[in-house]
Structure 1
């Protein structure tokens, strides 16, 4: 059976982020911090396939629920 890869994209809502840093600690290939310590995505938020689990974990661990999947 052939598995068709899915694309996962994420976005950070800057108005909700309080700069805890959990997301870029868990998944640094997708999330980074600005000069004030608030999260943003690397590039356009596309998650490499090998990091899907880490990105989903970062979403679930965000205390402010500032990260969401883009569909």
Structure 2
């Protein structure tokens, strides 16, 4: 499973980082960056789904 971010759609709300700080960081301008390769460890799957659901811009997606 991978967490994907559409950087063009990201509006910098930061809610994904609040939901999944282990998976998503914010750059200096406040836009989301996937940490590492984007591969979601099994223990963080629920947080990945929470991050996707929390994004008002629909900039995140989970790829199974």
SS state of the match for residue 47, structure 1? coil
Which of 33, 37, 49 is the equivalent residue of 1:56? 49
Which of 17, 37, 52 is the equivalent residue of 1:24? 17
Q: Is the 8 A contact 1:10 1:46 kept in 2?
A: yes
**Partners of 2:13 and 2:27 in 1: CA distance:** 12
Higher CA-based Rg: 1
Count of aligned residue pairs for this structure pair: 64
Deviation at 1:70, TM superposition (A): 2.6
Stretches of structure 1 that go unaligned for 5 or more consecutive residues are 1-7
Q: Is the 8 A contact 1:11 1:40 kept in 2?
A: no
Query: Normalising by structure 2, what TM-score?
Result: 0.93
Deviation at 1:51, TM superposition (A): 0.8
**Which ranges of 4 or more aligned residues in structure 1 deviate by more than 4 Å?**
none
Query: Normalising by structure 1, what TM-score?
Result: 0.84
